[in-house]
Structure 1
């Protein structure tokens, strides 16, 4: 039976049909052997069978192929022995079967050797893959241990952070309470400061009113002093009495002003811790009072000087000398001549 190259498309279609009809692997390989040998005239080999079927391990097509050749040899021997043929034909048929058997056995041995080489290559590749997989497994195991240690450390850090967060929450609550207390205290302090400012403003208004009243009184006193001066120009006796009365009133006013000044200083001293602005106003008020006192002193000196000069000229011009002497005798020892 000559070897021929079969139609690969038709052969693949036949193999697919056999796969559908024979689900068992050994039966499928046996039918594939028969298909190649009897229909396509090709001596089947283990490698060729495995390439076509691709089921099971490489030992399966080898075993099936040996069984196929043994069965074929046995059937051929029976047919040759029991057929009604001459001996020459029986010998020729035996030689043909022997030749086919040798060729098939040689092809099977060659295919087996190729198969062994392929299996060895596959085994070496698989061993290298297994070694690589074991190395990968070792690395994965090491990485897993490292990740497990990192996870445990992270869990410890998370627990520490959770505890720190709880402590921070407690601290934040305490700080919020303290802030609320301080805010309430600040509001109370602002209210007290506002009340103090209101009281200070009212007291300042009172002091300003008192200062205005004192200034009004001072102006009235100045007017009265001027009137007294005018009157003293008319008459010396009346001027002296009025001057004395004016001096007494001025002294009384000065004492009142000093008393008021001391009262203002006491009040300003008690309010000094609330506002330092009042210090300048108190100094200005004190300077005003000193100016008033100096002005009163100046008015007294002017009144006294005017009273001594004007009557003297009047008496010298219109009175006799006796009257002048009598007036001089009636003067007080402290009066100026």
Structure 2
């Protein structure tokens, strides 16, 4: 007699449900008897057993319902107290669980009608749930490694920033102050200041400014949280003279991956800094438009302008272009004689989101 598939699935679920506790007990005994470090860690044994129970319950749900498409299944939830393990260890644990489940089911169904079909259904349900769990475990483990790398980079950048500030920054500032004091002393005695001293002081002033920018960039290692706030904080530290500065953010910043938002801020900040320092403008305007598929940032001024062809070798312009390229975007600089300058950054968010994620 041929039994319907629904009836076979119910039979398989009944067998697995009835034997769930004995299976978990056998699994725990097997873990405790293992000869590696796992046997010495009670918390790991508890975590493995808890996760095994979750897998068996998910296999039961699979048997009692219609098989789901793995591509449409959301990632499984993880217990808050679960211990993160190397994917290889998870795979070993899953194999051990599968051995116990199938051996127990085979023993329970021995000599029963449709034995092979029921065992196949149990194996299929367990395979689906365990593979999903293994994939999730591997993803979490890889994410953890990437986070460790990121934290190491943050620590290294912070160290470099401290060394630059404490050593080079101190020396440059001291040299600048001494030259400034020498220049003032000469003026008080009504003596001409050596032009070479003036040039040296101006060069040191520029060097200190660039050093501060470099230190700020090195310390910008955490996601901004808000582009609007970051720009406002930057503008609060800028001496603009008679220049009016306006910033405008349109759209939802949550559409932009944090890594991209950081780079956008650095590009916009550099463009604003250049405009303030060199444009001699009455108005500088920064506008960032964000849509689900694109971010477009424009910094425009009504200043004296410049020839873009002669400025491309500048470190600031080159850095902005490199940051744009790093997130899959493009940078365009437009200048028409003395009609001001426009710097535009365009980043396609869909392509970025597929590679970076949020």
- Using the size of structure 1 for normalisation, the TM-score is 0.28
Give 1 or 2 for the bigger CA radius of gyration.
Answer: 1
What is the TM-score with the length of structure 2 in the denominator?
Answer: 0.27
